[in-house]
Amino acid sequence: MDSTVFASGPDLAVSRARQPYDSWLHCIRGCGRRYSIYDVVYRCPECGGLLDVEHDLEVLRHRTGHEWRTLFDSRTRVVEQPYDSGVWSKKEWVSPKLEPENLASLGEGNTPLLRAKQLEEEAGLSRLWIKLCGNSHTGSFKDLGMTVLVSVVKQMISDGREIRAVVCASTGDTSAALGAYCAMAGIPAIVLLPRDKVSAAQMVQPMANGALVLALDTDFDGCMTIVKELAANPTIYLANSLNPLRIEGQKTVGIEIMQQLHWEVPDWIVIPAGNLGNVCALGKGLSMMKELGLIDRLPRLACAQAERANPLYLSYLNDFQEYHPVKARRTLASAIQIGDPVSYERAVNTLRQFDGVVEQASEDELANAAARADRTGFYCCPQTGAALAVLFKLVGRGEIEPADKVVVISTAHGLKFTPFKAGYHEGRLEDVDALHANRPVDLPPDFAAVEGAISRAVERLGM
Amino acid sequence: MDSTVFASGPDLAVSRARQPYDSWLHCIRGCGRRYSIYDVVYRCPECGGLLDVEHDLEVLRHRTGHEWRTLFDSRTRVVEQPYDSGVWSKKEWVSPKLEPENLASLGEGNTPLLRAKQLEEEAGLSRLWIKLCGNSHTGSFKDLGMTVLVSVVKQMISDGREIRAVVCASTGDTSAALGAYCAMAGIPAIVLLPRDKVSAAQMVQPMANGALVLALDTDFDGCMTIVKELAANPTIYLANSLNPLRIEGQKTVGIEIMQQLHWEVPDWIVIPAGNLGNVCALGKGLSMMKELGLIDRLPRLACAQAERANPLYLSYLNDFQEYHPVKARRTLASAIQIGDPVSYERAVNTLRQFDGVVEQASEDELANAAARADRTGFYCCPQTGAALAVLFKLVGRGEIEPADKVVVISTAHGLKFTPFKAGYHEGRLEDVDALHANRPVDLPPDFAAVEGAISRAVERLGM
C-alpha cells in the first residue's frame, strides 16, 4: 500500500491508536448511552431504540469544509486498493479506527452520475442526472454499506471476538452483497430469502459466493422476524439495515454526488424507498457535509414507494402522525416489496429534516417510466422505474419546478431484472400497458428477408 | 465543461482545427493507403486488407512517457462527464479530432482491478489480479469500444454525412453496447442476433434501448455474413470489430491496468478469445505505451478459447502456418462461440509481438474455474471462466511460473449469465461436474427449522 498518494491528507493507513478520528454507536431516542461499533448490539439495551453511528465532529472540524472537499477530491479514483473505493476514500467519516488490513473492499462506489438530457427535455426540467449505483460489483448500491459491515466484522474477529457467521434477510440485493463481501473476507454468510419472491438472478448470487442460502416460504418481513431471533445469539452477526454500520458506507453516495456536481447542491434527490435504510443513509451523509461546511444547504428528498408496498406513503399522508405496517403485495419492484420497513423511525426524522415528500407509483407507472428511460440509453431496474415515475408525477403537479436541478438515485443494475425487462417488452406484465414495448423480429438467415425487415422499420421509425 | 481540471495538460475540449494530435485509417497489409476515420470504409479499397487506426506518433512524442503517465494519472480524478470516462481521459490517444459535443459517453472504463488473494494462493502465484471490465453500463468491456464508434458516427452525421443506422451482428455483448450508446446519441441501431444462442438477459438489452432486433435462425458467423452485405450500403454503418474504431476505445483497458499497477508491467495478461478484437486492442494499447515510453517492456499474452470454438487454438498448434475457420459448437461461453473470428489476421500479429500462447478450456473446466473464483467473492461470466481455466492450466504445466505477476481480464458481468450460474449450482449443465455447486435449502418460515438448518451447515462447513 503506497501512502505517498495521500500526501495531501492524513495517511489512512495510520493505526487505530494514532487515529485522531473516532465513532461510536448511540441510541437514536436520545437516552445518551454509547457503545463501541465493535460491540454486537443492534438496539439500545436500555430503552430498545435503534442505534446510529455517531462521529466525533469536534475532531472532524479541525479541517474546514474546503479542506475536506479538497482532500476527498484528491482521492477520487485513487488507483490503490482499497482506497480506489468510493467508500474508503472517506474513511475518516466512515469507520476511522478500522485497521487497514481488515478492510474488505471490492472496488465499490465511484459510480457514474449520468446527465439524462433526453429525459430532462421530455420532463421539462433544467437538469436531471441519474446516479448509477447498480454499476458495481454485485449490481446494487448495497455494496456501499456491506463493505463497511463486513470489514467491521473482520476487525471484530481479528480482535478475538467469536463470530461464526453473518446473517441477513433480503429481497435479493442485500444477500448478493453479503455473499460477495463475506466470500472475499473468508467469513461464513447465511441469507434468508422469501421463496419465489426474488429474481433468479438475485437468488443465485449468494449461492455462487458460497453462502448458506435458506429459501423460506414467506415474504421479506417473515424472513426478517426469524433473522432477528437468530441474531439474539451473539455469535451470529446481523447484517440487515437495522444494523447501523451499513448506513456509514451508504451515506457516501451523497458525498459522491456532490463531488460529481462540483459541490453544488441539487434542489431534489429522488430515491426508491423500501426498507428505508438508503433514505436515512443519504440524509446522514448530506447532513454531515452541511454540518462540516462542505455544502451550504440541503436538497429536498423525494421517496418513491411502490403502490403495492406503501406504508411510508400512507404515513406521509397523515404527516407521519400514524404508522401502520402493511402486508406488502407482490410488486415488480421486488427490492422495495416491504410492508414493515426496519428504518421507518429514522426515515421520518430524515424526511422532516429534508422537507421531504413521499409519492407512490403503480405497476404500470413504474414499468413504463423504466422503459422510457431505457429508450434514452439507460437500463433501469424496477425500483429506479418507481423513482422516475414519482419524478414525472412531482414535475407534473408542479412540486418539482422546471428550473430545479434533480438527481435520481438508481439503486440496482437492470441486469438483475431480466424477467421484468423481457416481460415488459413481450407485453406479459399484469396491470402494465407497455407503451414502449419493442419486440424482436424472427427471420430466416437470408439477406433479402433482413433487408425487407429493415425497410419496413425505416418506414415505421423514420430511419 | 470545466477545463480548469486539465490545467496539467492540453485542454481536451480544444476544437478540431487547433488540435495538434491526429489519427487516420491505414491498411494493415502495408499498401500505404490512408483514409479518414470519418470515411465509411472497412477494408482497403485497393487491396482488400483490414484497416487500422494509426496515430501521429511524432506529435505524441512531444510529451515524454513520464509526462503522459502524469497526465493520465491526473485525469483519473476528474469528475466531469464525459472526462470521467476511462476512455475519453485518453482522448489524444483515442480519437483526438472528435468535437467534444459529439462524445457519446456512458461513464465507461475506470473499472476495478481486484487483487485475487485467495485464488493466487490456491494457484501458487505471486500476484493475481482480475480486471472487472463487466462492472460497466451494459455489463461488458464492449462499452469501451462502442463509445468511440458511436461518437465518430455522431461526428459524421454532424458533418453532414447521411448515416441512417448503425448495424452489428452479435453474440450479445456488442448489441447491448450498440443499443445503449445509440439510444443515448439518438442514432437508430440495428442488431442481428443468432436466435436461441444468446442469453435472454443479452437479448433484451438492445430491445429495451429501442434497437431494431433481428433474431436470425443461424449462428454468429451466419449473422456476420449478412451484416457485411448490409454494410455495402454506405448509409448503414458497420459496428462490428471489423471496424477498427472500436479497438481505439478497447485499447484503453491496457492503459488502465498499467495505471492501476503504478505502471509496473505484469508478466502475463490472460484474456478470453472469440472474435479476437479484444486481443488486438489490448496489444495495441500496450504497444503504444511502450513506443511512447510509458512502460519499458511488454507482458506476455495468453488467449483463452472454448474447446468448442477454437480456431485460433488449432492455428496456434501449427505456429499459425495454417488457419481453418471451424463450425463453432454450442458452448456455455456463448460470447466467444465464434468459428471464424473477424480479427484473426490482426490477432496473429499481436500474438507474435507479445510472445503469446493460446490454450483452450473444456465446458467442465471453464464452468468450474468460474465457480471457484465466485467462491472467493467474484461473479464470473463463462468467458472469464475460460480465462481462469487456462490460467490454471498454464500454471499447472509451468508455462506461467510461481513468481509471475498475472492479470486476468474479466470481459463481462456474471449477471448477464444467470442461466449458466443457476444451471451450474443446480447441477444441470451438460458435460460439467459441478465441483463447487451450492444449493439453496427450502424451509418453512419457522425459527426452529432455520436454526436446525444452520446447525447442520455449521457441522458441514465448520462455521
Question: Tens digit of pLDDT for each residue in A43-87?
Answer: 888 888 888 888 888 888 888 888 888 888 777 656 666 678 999
Instruction: Name the phi and psi angles at B224, rounded to 5.
Output: -65, -40
pLDDT in tens, A425-444: 999 999 999 999 999 999 99
Sheet with B300-306, strands from edge to edge, namely: B113-115, B127-132, B405-410, B268-272, B300-306, B357-361
Report how far residue A447's alpha carbon sits from residue B62's, in angstroms, rounded to the nearest whole number: 49
pLDDT at A439: 93
Pick from A414, A138, A241: nearest CA to B377: A138
pLDDT(A417) > 70? yes
User: Is B145 in a helix, a strand, or coil?
Assistant: helix
Profile chain B (463 residues) by mean pLDDT over runs of 10 residues. 35 64 88 89 87 90 89 73 82 89 94 95 95 97 97 95 94 94 97 86 92 94 92 93 91 93 94 96 94 94 98 98 95 94 92 98 98 98 98 98 97 95 96 96 94 86 62
DSSP bridge partners of A302: A270, A357
Residue A135 forms contact with B (CB below 8 Å)? yes
Global pTM reads: 0.93
pLDDT at A79: 64
From the list B183, B230, B439, the residue facing A375 with the nearest CB is B183
CB-hemisphere CA count at 13 Å for A210? 24
- The mean pLDDT of chain A is 91
| DSSP sequence for A153-199 | HHHHHHTT----EEEEE-SSHHHHHHHHHHHHHT--EEEEEETTSS-
Query: For residue B415, which residues of chain A lie inside 8 Å, CB to CB?
Result: 139, 201, 205, 413, 415-416
For residue B115, the Cα-to-chain-centroid distance in whole angstroms is 19
From the list A440, A447, A463, the residue facing B213 with the nearest CB is A440
Report how far residue B212's alpha carbon sits from residue B206's, in angstroms, rounded to the nearest whole number: 8
Q: How far apart are the first and last CA of chain B?
A: 53
Q: What is the mean pLDDT of residues A184-210?
A: 91
pLDDT at B78: 65
Residue ranges of A 258-277 with Cβ closer than 8 A to chain B: 259-260, 262
Which of the two residues, A191 and A342, has the higher pLDDT score? Answer: A191
pLDDT(A7) > 50? no
Spatial neighbors of A89 by CB under 8 A, at least 6 apart, are A72, A75, A76, A78, A83, A109
Question: B377, A444: Cβ pair inside 8 Å?
Answer: no
Cell of A77: 479514483
Report how far residue A445's alpha carbon sits from residue A435's, in angstroms, rounded to the nearest whole number: 30
pLDDT at A372: 98
Q: What is the mean pLDDT of residues A276-286?
A: 96
Report how far residue A288's alpha carbon sits from residue A314's, in angstroms, rounded to the nearest whole number: 29
How far, CA to CA in Å, does B376 sit from each of A179, B67, B121?
A: 10, 38, 11
Question: B210, A436: Cβ pair inside 8 Å?
Answer: yes
* Type and span of the H or E element at B143: helix B142-158
Query: For residue A230, which residues of chain B lie inside 8 Å, CB to CB?
Result: 447, 450-451, 454
pLDDT at A181: 98
Q: How confident is the model at residue A171 (pLDDT cuts 50, 70, 90)?
A: confident
* Complex confidence, ipTM: 0.92
DSSP bridge partners of B212: B190
pLDDT at A73: 78
Report how far residue B141's alpha carbon sits from residue A26's, in angstroms, rounded to the nearest whole number: 44
From the list A132, A444, A454, the residue facing B107 with the nearest CB is A132
Report how far residue A233's alpha carbon sits from residue B450's, in angstroms, rounded to the nearest whole number: 13
Report how far residue A418's alpha carbon sits from residue A379's, in angstroms, rounded to the nearest whole number: 10
